[in-house]
Amino acid sequence: MATIPPLAERMRPATLDDYVGQKHLIGKDAILRLAIESGMLPSLILWGPPGVGKTTLALIISRQLNRPFFGLSAINSGVKDIRDVIEQATRLKDENENLPILFIDEIHRFSKSQQDSLLGAVERGLVTLIGATTENPSFEVISALLSRSQVYILQNLPEEDLVELLNKAIKEDSYLKNKNIQIKEHEALLRLSGGDARKLLNVLELVVNAVNQQEVNITNDLVLKLVQQNMAMYDKAGEQHYDIISAFIKSIRGSDPNAAVYWLARMIAGGEDPSFIARRLLILASEDIGNANPNALLLANTCFQAVNVIGWPESRIILSQTVTYLASSPKSNASYEAISKAQELVARTGDQSVPLHLRNAPTKLMKNIGYGKEYEYSHTYKDNFTAQEYLPENLSGTLLYDPGKNAAEEKLRERLKSLWKEKYKY
């Protein structure tokens, strides 16, 4: 077994029809599939969690379009490597050959200068760039490159796709199909995968190899026992990174500064990018603390700016201060719940008309037909408040922001009650 590729590599699909998951992108008549089949493929950024098929999709695209494939990893490639690829692409163009696909894995780890070095080749069409990232490209990819690319979001694989992968591997893999493998229970396999196809196949292969018998009956207990015994092997590719950031966020949300700073130290020891940590804190400050302590967002934002100026090792101190403060703060997800409810309401009720008195009236005609008429300017009333309607008529009285049960938001609740009386059920 040591001489053959890992199961995840052996099971890598070669065509779009063999590709499992991402039906919203490459299913029948889906947007990316149509672009591939037309041959009119723009440069693109594939954004999604690990193990959902970004690299595989890039390889399939190259194969289907009969284009040379150049692959770089942002971890160990630099500007020189990019220039070498551009030189090869230039020679192909001069020889009237098909121009290449340039796949850059973890493009979010490229510096601005490295990304700048790609621009000319992308603009001239020497290469079609396919960048893969687990991070929001709005933060990590320079705007000039982003504006020349389409961004496609890949999603964690749902249970049915993961089960399909397991069954496919057992039936079709050249090694596994020679064994009698029965999956009696698959919950542990799926839970450990976290929607990551590569991790799922790694665990399956680990279990089969550890049993080392012709007949393998896979149960939840067997999977958990063997994975724990072989954790170093299982995690050698760095999948634990995502488990640690999850534990970190949940410790802060759970108001445990001790656990939170421990997981922070684990990330520091692993060489994590400080801006990655700071950005997670910025999101958490609104999502999990919000108006229970508005200063949390201010501190998190200051932290984000500071670590991008300071760098390691001093940023550890700034991060520690912010982490312990956020973990110790009162918690509320009321703002997060409010926008989620509002978006669901918009999706359900469609484009409701703006009440006439709230409409903009820049022309005489608009004023004559009632735009802005009877609008009450709040600052001319007592306490800078007047109880007019601000929602579309048929949504009147809909409560979206329900202040959390903490000291700061209870004050907001009481103020809103006193202003709106019975209109909103606070």
- Domain positions in the chain: 22-153, 159-234, 240-328
Q: What is the pLDDT along the chain (426 residues), one digit of tens a residue?
A: 446 788 888 888 888 888 888 889 888 888 899 988 888 888 999 998 888 889 999 999 999 898 999 988 877 777 888 888 888 888 888 888 888 889 998 888 887 878 888 888 888 888 889 999 888 888 778 888 888 888 999 988 888 889 988 998 999 888 888 888 889 888 888 888 777 888 888 888 888 888 888 888 888 888 888 876 655 444 434 456 677 888 899 989 988 888 899 889 888 877 777 888 999 999 999 999 999 999 999 999 999 999 888 777 788 899 999 999 999 998 999 998 998 888 888 888 887 888 877 777 666 666 666 677 778 888 888 888 888 888 888 888 888 888 888 888 888 888 888 888 888 887
The CATH fold of domain 240-328: Zinc Finger, Delta Prime; domain 3 (1.20.272)
Residue of 263, 265, 225 whose CA lies nearest to 242: 263
The per-residue pLDDT for 369 is 65
CATH 1.10.8 holds for 159-234? yes
Residue of 73, 138, 141, 86 whose CA lies nearest to 111: 141
Question: What is the rounded distance in angstroms from the CA atom of residue 207 to the CA atom of residue 53?
Answer: 23
Residue of 63, 80, 69, 139 whose CA lies nearest to 105: 69
34: its two tokens: 């149509």
pLDDT in tens, 157-206: 888 889 988 998 999 888 888 888 889 888 888 888 777 888 888 888 88
Burial class (CB in 10 A: 0-12, 13-18, 19+), 207: buried
Our measurement of the distance from residue 318's CA atom to the centroid of its chain's CA atoms, rounded to an integer in Å, reads 25
Question: What is the rounded distance in angstroms from the CA atom of residue 298 to the CA atom of residue 300?
Answer: 6
The per-residue pLDDT for 234 is 40
CB-based contact 326:286 (threshold 8 Å): no
- Residue keyed to tokens 């820049």: 362
The per-residue pLDDT for 235 is 45
The per-residue pLDDT for 115 is 85
- Mean residue pLDDT of the chain comes to 85
Specify the CATH number of the domain 22-153.
3.40.50.300
The per-residue pLDDT for 229 is 60
Upper half-sphere CA count for residue 241 (Cβ side, 13 Å)? 15
Question: What is the rounded distance in angstroms from the CA atom of residue 422 to the CA atom of residue 299?
Answer: 36
The per-residue pLDDT for 366 is 64
> Which sign, positive or negative, has the C-alpha torsion 253, 256, 259, 261?
positive
CB-based contact 22:28 (threshold 8 Å): no
235: its two tokens: 């995690």
Question: What is the rounded distance in angstroms from the CA atom of residue 173 to the CA atom of residue 50?
Answer: 22
- pTM attached to this predicted model: 0.57
